[in-house]
Chains A and B, each alone.
Chain A
Amino acid sequence: MCNCATPGNRSNATAVQTVDLNQVKDAYTQAASVCSRRIVICAGTGCMANGAMKVFDAFHIALQEQGVRVLTAIDPDEPAQASEADEMVLHLSKSGCQGFCQMGPLVSIEPDGILYTLVRADDVADIVGETILKGALVDRLLYRDPQTRQVCRGPEEIAFYKRQTRQVLKMCGAIDPENIAEYISLGGYSAARRAYLMMSPETVCEEITESGLRGRGGGGFPTGHKWELTRVQPGPKKYVICNGDEGDPGAFMDRSVMEGAPHSVIEGMMIAARGIGADEGYIYVRMEYPLAVARVRRAVTDAEAAGILGDDLFGSGLNFRLHVMEGAGAFVCGEETALIASIEGKRGMPKPKPPFPAERGLWDKPTVINNVETLATVPIILREGAKALRGIGMPNSPGTKTFALTGHVANTGLIETPFGATLRQIVYEIGGGVLNDAGAPDPRGFKAVQIGGPSGGCLTPDHLDLTLDYDALRDVGAMVGSGGLVVMNQDTCMVSVARFFMQFTQNESCGKCVLCREGTRQMLALLDDIMEGTATEETLDLLKKLAIAVQKGSLCGLGKTAPSPVLSTLHYFRDEYEAHVRDKKCPAGQCKALADPEILADRCVGCTACARKCPVGAIQGYRKEAHVIDVAKCVKCGVCAETCKFDAIIGV
């Protein structure tokens, strides 16, 4: 049985009167005004995994011990009143992902603008004692710039944040994702209200088209155009689907938005529904995101209870029902036709297009599917105007894009920059530069970045000043994709990188079409041959031919993009492949089978440590004399090189 959609709180939704957003806003602002400070604990998945909830609890206890009155929620319906006895009232809240995951758990203190990093429950007493009570800083918890060694007070001073332009992520990491009133107090749902009361479906589609918004899920298809194609379809029943099946390894932008600002996604869906004339929608969240599922479910229930979702939206007479559905745990379900099949309770396998979902989608009805980030951008456009989005980014790629920055880089985490930012800005300014394998800054260490995950390609030092936007990336054989950015240093073997992603797509291929199912498996086998030294130059030709066939011939986007890492590394790092094939050498020294261990006689002191550690007895030599490795016996495990204190063993 499938995990069917939750029906939501229907009876309530119909009973509740039309919501007055201004009233909610005023009530919230009033209720929040009793608090002099707000302590925000990042409760994104990364920080939670590192103990954010323990920090939260510790704050609660420590503050109460100090006689500080703590509000963990601001409820405009039952506002807390400050009494004479309260010396201080504080708002202690959880937020969605603040982005700087490497430094979590994160604690921000507002309005002071302080950001404490790597906070443990033990640190809380100091923060309360110093900062809350005395207004002083706890230096050891502040972020220290890895380049300048400067201590930074908060986001204003931290390069990681300073260089970003946070639009979609603006609320994410600041507000309490479980408080609909706070979202409303910041202008939330006013865009939906405008769409339902002041705009026609045509003008909604026009405004989105005019903004130039393109799909953030990878393809970059113009969103307004997609809506318009669906709007013009005949028939009373249409659907809006939010694709929250983010599955690229290392990507967590959509998760963060769903966890941090779920109402922005719902609002985007309401606007999309207005644009195309839909009265029902699905949020399809991958089941590996339990927190996102819980937050989105909560948000839907709250929006229904508040009279925002359900029947007669804002008194317009129009309805919109929203279901939350957990994914089936398959990467391929991020492909729109497979996602639709999955919602329908069928096996998640893509179908040939045409027909496109705009014509025949969910249950054969016209359907719009948009990615989480795309939908979260929509309310911003309607609030601030199409021109505002065009004011940022590139002419053909307006607005901002979130990326999950990871790999050999100092600052990993969730970032947002305008389209058109260069790779150099991202890697060196936001990312704080490249690290070597030992974790130390390495100014000349940049080798490549894999962009767009397993569907994307790699960019090289030649591309450091390339502006990142849909078209520029496509022209160099890469793609924005969902926005994964994996930075790689000089010690990375590009064949291994291609193999890593090929292994992923091979595992995740649904198995429907021949080229993807068998092609990815054979590409993987060919890459294995190359890494094991059994390949010939013909292997490279065959690999390329096969990769092109899979790229051009596969049924769906998964298959069509699966060869990208191979083709792109073959293109930019051909010499590295050739070294593997022709010289049987891995230039990065990562491919075990190609290792060629050697003991440098002039460095070896004959300590015998390596010979004693060698598991196969391949090292021989007398005490205080240079040792030698018997290559025939050696299994290239590398233990000798790790053991040697004199760096006398190379090539493994």
Chain B
Amino acid sequence: MKTQDTLIVDGREVAIEGEPNLLELIRKAGIEIPTFCYHSELSVYGACRLCLVDIEGRGIQASCSARPESGMVVRTRTQEIREMRKISVELLLANHDMDCPTCPKSRSCKLQDLAHKLGVDKVRFKRTHKPKPVDHSSPCLTRDPNKCVLCGDCVRACYEIQGIGAIDFVGRGTSNQVMPAFGKDLNQVECVGCGQCAAVCPTGALSPKREVNQVWRDLENPAKTVVVQIAPAVRAGLGEFFGSEAGATCTGKTVAALKALGFDQVYDTCFAADLTVIEEANEFIQRKTAGERLPQFTSCCPAWVKFTEQFYPELRHHLSTCRSPQQMFGSMARELLPNMLGVKNEDLVVVSIMPCTAKKFEAKLDKFIDADGVADVDHVVTTQGLARMIEEAGIDFANLPPESFDMPMGFRTGAGILFGASGGVSEAVLRYAVEKISDMPLPSVDFHQTRGEEGIREVNLEVNGMMLKLCIVHGLANARTIAEQVKAGQCDYDLIEVMTCPGGCVAGAGQPVSIGRQTIRQRAQALYNNDKTVQIHKSQDNFEVARCYSDCLGDVGGDKAHKLLHTHYQNRRAVINQANSCKGAPALAPTQATCAACEKCGAAV
């Protein structure tokens, strides 16, 4: 019998169980090794030099890039290593703006945390920091190079997870900086605003754009009626700011906190998600039946939509024409609430609380702002932003008694809640579509095949002799793989769900900072559990949504639904496709990016 391979870490024997590197093994042994640039989801970079350990016979090595070997004797906290780690942190601090109290990352900043934990009580080196301009151009993110430690996490997240590469290193040595190509601003390049760069940034160099001040102003203004929607993933993340375990759901407390902050009505984006399910599933059934524009791409993730418009404009007619739940909510709020609440449209302020930074970009799109300049959604605040507001207002979140959403737009089904997890949209659509196609009530609402963590998952099912082939994708690098297959005509999927953030909205960049897989898993599980606890699980059973159709929208996919709930897409390709600009090459085929009803209203493509 083969004995277990082991090595010694700080005098303790630890089993080697296939860890990819020594760092993972040491952490498994319960020893926290400091790092800036190591993320298990990203490639090993080896730049921060904090994970140094002393390996007997080999000297000091970076544990992130050392392989665990049987019989190794490893020391993680010798005097020499502690001094070297301290020196590294001091070196970084010497070239840092040290504006901790005013930094958006204060208290969740790794640099601050490590300086404290490693006992850095003074910086022995000369200050070398020179102020650099802060990039406020993006509606989604703020890039502050003054706080950057050049760990490259953002660069790798953008390139490796999202397949984009909107930012990279520029300049050599001490002139090294992370920035978009040619020194452009973030809003001038192919950034999709997903914010995964900010999610992995250990400092405040990349952070979600703050929009809370505008919200405070409207809350203070007695002339305004401020309503708010909460995205599904928010309820599975906000509690982490206030001491809850990851995966704790805090819907009632969140509602209570928003009311305490002075919001006039608190609604649920899941209500709009139910609307989305009905419209999108209906569109899907039509397209599937007619065999047109398949596969259908989901359209609820704005970063994915921008990605398609930018890199695959020729595929944009595959996108569902449904607006995202946030925007459906916005247009329905503008349609219903002025009458219902007795306010003028311009005095109605619609705020959304989102786990997402790309939603900020989406809300500001011209197509969602009317001729008078009134946006369907006025302000998008991230989960982080809401936590700041709660803290600033001095609300004791942990001890708030839960409250209920306001009706009608606070009524939702479990299907809407699932939107926050990768695979959730597909499951919600199946709960509608399968029932509709088979014309029989579902024996079980759970479609377990849609759930999981793989970046690309296939779901095949047969309904009344009709084969449905779904693909569930998260991470845009994976989406690129699938989009290439679609472009090449190599896949026969009917529906492709794409979520930009790995794991879905629960891992959005507006959520509490963590790209730990376990945390993301727990948040997703919280949503699946939440689905179980509500009474209704299928969007078609949402009677408030049904009432919307009967009182206001008319037919599903009808003219009014089209006007309020659907949209068009544009070509955002920044660099002209060489193949198409070549002489003699066929021009880019005109794409149909309209829903059937569009043709009636004559909307431009």
Question: Which residues of A pack against B, CB within 8 Å?
Answer: 330, 332, 347, 349, 351-354, 506-515, 517-522, 525, 542, 545-546, 549, 552-555
- Establish whether residues B49 and A553, one from each chain, have CB atoms under 8 Å apart when the complex forms: yes
- Tell me how far the C-beta of B44 lies from the nearest C-beta in chain A, rounded to whole angstroms: 6
**Given A542-B124, A546-B87, A552-B60, CB of A354 within 8 Å of CB of B172:** no
A555 adjacent to B47 (CB under 8 Å): yes
**Do B150 and A352 touch (CB < 8 A)?**
no
B92 touching A518 by the CB < 8 A rule? yes
Report whether B173 and A510 are in contact in the complex, using a CB–CB cutoff of 8 Å.
yes
Are B87 and A545 in contact, with the CB atoms below 8 A?
Answer: yes
Asked whether B126 is an interface residue with its Cβ less than 8 Å from the other chain, the reply is yes
Q: How far is the CB of A522 from chain B (nearest CB, A)?
A: 5
Q: Is the CB of B62 within 8 A of A555?
A: yes
Inter-subunit contact A351/B46 (CB<8 Å):
yes
B506 contacts partner chain A, Cβ-Cβ < 8 Å: no
| Chain A interface, >50% SS class | helix
Given contacts A353-B65, A525-B125, contact A514 B91 (CB under 8 A): yes
Give the 8 A-B residue pairs with the shortest CB-CB distance, closest first. A511-B176, A352-B46, A352-B65, A518-B91, A509-B173, A549-B84, A511-B173, A522-B125
Q: Kindly list chain B residues whose C-beta atoms are within 8 Å of the C-beta of A506.
A: 173-174
Instruction: From known contacts A352-B44, A519-B91, A545-B87, infer whether A514 and B49 are also in contact, taking CB-CB under 8 Å.
Output: yes
CA distance A408 to B45 in the complex (A): 43
Chain B contact residues, CB within 8 Å of chain A: 44-49, 52, 59-60, 62, 64-67, 80, 83-84, 87-88, 91-92, 94-95, 124-126, 128, 149-150, 152, 168-169, 171-176
10 A–B pairs (Cβ distance < 8 Å), ordered by A: A354-B66, A510-B172, A511-B173, A514-B49, A515-B88, A520-B173, A542-B124, A552-B60, A553-B52, A553-B60
* Distance of A442 Cα from B62 Cα, bound (Å): 48
CA distance A426 to B125 in the complex (A): 41
Which residue from chain B places its CB closest to the CB of A346 in the assembled complex? B168
* C-alpha spacing A546/B125, complex, angstroms: 10
B84: contacting residue among A351, A509, A553, CB under 8 A? A553
B33: shortest Cβ distance to chain A, in Å?
14
Q: How many Å from the CB of B592 to the closest CB on chain A?
A: 36
Q: Give A543 Cβ to nearest chain B Cβ, in Å.
A: 11
The answer to whether A508 touches B173, judged by C-beta atoms less than 8 angstroms apart, is: yes
Per a CB cutoff under 8 Å, which of B47, B65, B91, B92 touches A512?
A: B47
Residue of B66, B152, B174 with most chain A CB atoms under a 10 A cut-off: B174
Q: Which residues of B contact A518 (CB under 8 A)?
A: 91-92, 94-95, 125, 128, 174
Q: Is the CB of A553 within 8 A of B88?
A: yes
- CB A520 to nearest CB in B, in angstroms, measures 8
Inter-subunit contact A352/B62 (CB<8 Å): yes
How far is A179 from B128 in the complex, measured between Cα atoms in Å? 54
Q: Most chain-A CB neighbours within 10 Å: which of B44, B49, B62, B65? A: B49
Does B44 lie within 8 Å of A347, measured CB to CB?
Answer: no
| Set of chain A residues within 8 Å of B45, measured between Cβ atoms | 352
Flag if B125 contacts A545 (CB, 8 Å). Answer: no
What residues of A have a CB within 8 angstroms of the CB of B176 in the complex? 510-512, 517
Residues in chain B near residue A554, CB distance under 8 A: 49
Q: How far is the CA of A513 from the CA of B62 in the complex (A)?
A: 11
Contact B125 A509 (CB under 8 A): no
CB of B260, distance to nearest CB on chain A (Å):
44
Q: What chain A residues lie within 8 Å of B128 (beta carbons)? A: 518, 521-522, 525
User: Which residues of A sit under 8 angstroms from B124, Cβ to Cβ?
Assistant: 542
Complex Cα gap A546–B86 (Å): 11
Q: How far is the CA of A520 from the CA of B173 in the complex (A)?
A: 9
Q: Provide the bound-state CA to CA distance between A89 and B44, in Å.
A: 65
Cβ–Cβ contact A514 & B173, under 8 A:
no
Q: Name the distance in Å between A127's Cβ and chain B's nearest Cβ.
A: 48
B residues less than 8 Å from A546 (CB atoms): 87, 125
A549 touches B83 (CB 8 A): yes
Q: Is the CB of A552 within 8 A of B59?
A: yes
Q: Is the CB of B64 within 8 A of A352?
A: yes
Q: List A contacts of B92 (CB < 8 A).
A: 514, 518
In the bound assembly, the distance between CA atoms of A349 and B37 in angstroms comes to 15
Least Cβ–Cβ distance between A348 and chain B, in angstroms: 9
Q: A11 vs B196: C-alpha distance in the bound complex, in angstroms?
A: 49
